[in-house]
Amino acid sequence: MPWVFKVLTFKENEPLADKNWFLTGGLARYFCEPETVEEFKEALVFARTKNLEIFVLGQGANVLISDDGFDGLVIRPRVENHTFPTITQETEAMVLVTASAGMTVHDLIEFCLKHQIVGLEEFSGIPGTVGGSVFINLHYFQFFLSHFLVSAHVVHCQTGALEQVSLDWFNFGYDTSRLMDRDYYLVDATFRLKKVSDVETAYAQGRRVEIIRHRHARYPHARTCGSFFRNFHDNEVTVVSNGKKMIYVAYYLDKIGVKGQLAVGDAIVSYQHANMIVNSGNATSSDIVQLVRLMQQKVKDAFGIMLQPECLLIGFKDYPLL
């Protein structure tokens, strides 16, 4: 029977397999979907009261959840449609757009283009919420979400205090942010974007269509977490191509011939991209873990380097990879 803690409902033993892109994983011990800041704070109080670990879930596009589930509280923020997004005119050409953590990046881009605001269309076709995207510093080729973010509101997980923070607070890096310390959770984020003419808006819309077309041609777009492994840092590799360190994980995976071939159960390396794993049917998280370990071992045997996950591993009692 669901718990009602003040006004927020907490479900017990809630399935998570239907809430992430891999479509795998077990149950959440507790689960809630706060719609306001006050409800989010209530969720934090509930977790402290029961001494529960917290995981904040967006669209589940960059996670692998254990088949044993998550023995804590899963919080999935919902959008405050009556409040967000908001537009603040900064100059004639520049505007500030504030979006809720629970809003999808897709919907935010749609909102911006509808109001002749451009910049974020560079991330078209990438699944995820604003919260999850800020958490990992979403990137696509040379574009990072941190290039556009100027400020945000975060809530402290212990005190429930709401704080306004600037870009520098996040300590953004490649696939990293201060939010990964899990001392704070994002409530909303403000981005500095460009106000443009009708013609420039039409160009941005066309560019968005082309970006999505390119992504669908190059990458799988269902039953995957996207790139499973992060690219290497310069100091981690010795292979050089055209005078530059070969940091791209897909290069090494292509060399060992796993694309579209290596599989465990229904978990298979995508035929489109060697750094992406697809659930082709009824794969479990255990199948995916076993496949990932095989990929790690093959690259280590061939090149002496260890692949490190970009995908977030949730609910595993012990680290499951090599």
Task: Catalogue all structural domains in the chain, each as residue range(s) with its CATH number.
Answer: 3-75 (3.30.43.10), 86-218 (3.30.465.10), 234-314 (3.90.78.10)
Predicted confidence (pLDDT) per residue in 89-147, tens digit: 999 999 999 999 999 999 999 999 999 999 999 999 999 999 999 999 999 889 999 99
Position 1 confidence tier, pLDDT thresholds 50, 70, 90: low
Count CB atoms within 10 A of the CB of residue 281: 11
Q: How far apart are the C-alpha atoms of 162 and 160, rounded to whole Å?
A: 6
How much is the pLDDT for 84? Answer: 81
CA atoms within 13 A on the CB side of 176: 9
| Integer-rounded Cα radius of gyration of the chain | 20
**Helix/strand/coil for 79:** coil
Q: Which two structure tokens, joined as six digits, stand for 195? A: 């106000």
Q: Which residues pair with 11 in a beta bridge?
A: 31
Mean pLDDT within 189-193: 98
Say which range, 36-40, 80-84, 243-247, 257-261, has the weakest mean pLDDT.
Answer: 80-84
